[in-house]
Amino acid sequence: MIDTGETPGGVRLRPPHHRVDRRAVLWWGCRAAVAVVVLLVALVLAAWWFTSARGVLLLTLLPVGVLGAGYAVVMPWWRYRVHRWETTDSAVYTASGWISREWRVAPMSRIQTVDTARGPLQRVFGLSTVTVTTASAAGPLSIDGLDHEVASDLAERLTMTTQAVPGDAT
């Protein structure tokens, strides 16, 4: 599933051990549904406003609605299959994305901050995002859709581990 198109005998990345919480599917789904609904409403409003282009705008409603519904159904499950995370004693390893994929590895010794954040929608589902930053400007590692308890445990453990290791290569 999460292959990097390996050749036989070649090295490849194995998927990280843990999946994110199953409720993340619902969360991603809701988020996508909200986005699609906003788009549809905007189209309807535009059709109501621009009388001259009303026909075209109303016609686009159908494909946009169908594609949007497909996106809201397929994307969360696809993400759920891809998104994984893992920590070892020496590193944090995440996989994310759905169509495009991304794997990130950061060594414990180079971690600067560990944050947990919960948006309103995440709070409804009891989920959290753990964000791990390093000294690099290339962006943090973030693990979306973790169970709140798991996330705070993880953040605490990562903070403890990183405090024990000095230096962040700045």
Partner 1 sequence: MNDPHAEPAAEHDGQQPEDPFTEWQRLDIRSVLASMGLLVVPMLPVAGLVLFPADGSVARPTAGLALALVVFGIGSAWWRWFFTRFRVTAERFELRQGNFSRSFHSIPRERIRSVDLTAPVAHRLLGIAVVRIGTGRKSTRDSELRLDALPTARAERLREQLLRQRSAPAGEAPSERGPGGAAEGTDLARMRPSWYLYSTLTASLLLVTWAALGSALNTLGDLLRALGITSWLVDRLPGSPDSVLAGPSLWIGVLVILLVLLAGGWLGALAISLEMWWGYRLSAESGNTLHVRRGLLTTRAVSLEKRRLRGIELAEPLLLRLAGGGRLTAVATGLGSGSSGRSDNKALLPPAPRRVAERVGAGVLERADGSGGPGNLRRHPRAALRRRMTRAMLVVLVPVGASVAAQLLGPLPWWSSLVAVLLAVPAALFALDAYRNLGHDLHDDLLVTRHGTGVRRTVLLQRNAIIGWRVKQSPLQRLAGLVTMSATTAAGDGHYSVHDVDPSSGLAFADEAVPGLLTPFLRGGSADDGAEREPPAEGGDSAER
Q: Which ranges of 54-147 does DSSP label H, i.e. alpha helix?
A: 54-82, 120-125
Q: Are 168 and 110 in contact (CB under 8 A)?
A: yes
Instruction: Give the residue with the Cβ less far from partner 1, 8 or 120.
Output: 8
Instruction: Give the residue with the Cβ less far from partner 1, 51 or 163.
Output: 163
Residues 6+ apart with CB under 8 A from 98: 75, 78, 79, 82
Stretch that binds partner 1, among 47-55, 57-65, 95-103, 122-130 (CB under 8 A): 95-103
Q: Does 86 bind partner 1 (CB under 8 A)?
A: yes
Quick check: helix, strand or coil at residue 137?
coil
Q: Does 77 bind partner 1 (CB under 8 A)?
A: no
Least Cβ distance, residue 113 to partner 1 (angstroms): 13
Q: Are 143 and 20 in contact (CB under 8 A)?
A: yes
Q: Does 35 bind partner 1 (CB under 8 A)?
A: no
The CA–CA distances, whole Å, from 71 to 74, 78, 158, 170 equal 5, 10, 34, 41
Phi-psi bin for 9: left (phi > 0), alpha (psi -120 to 50), beta? left
Q: How many residues sit in the footprint of partner 1 (CB under 8 A)? A: 46
Q: Does 22 bind partner 1 (CB under 8 A)?
A: no
- Phi and psi at 52, nearest 5°, equal -70, -35
Which of 83, 87, 122, 130 touches partner 1 (CB under 8 A)? 87
Binding positions for partner 1, 117-156, rule CB under 8 A: 134-139, 141, 150, 153-154
Q: Does 14 bind partner 1 (CB under 8 A)?
A: yes
Binding residues for partner 1, per CB under 8 A? 4-7, 9-14, 16-18, 86-91, 93, 99-107, 110, 134-139, 141, 150, 153-154, 157, 166-170
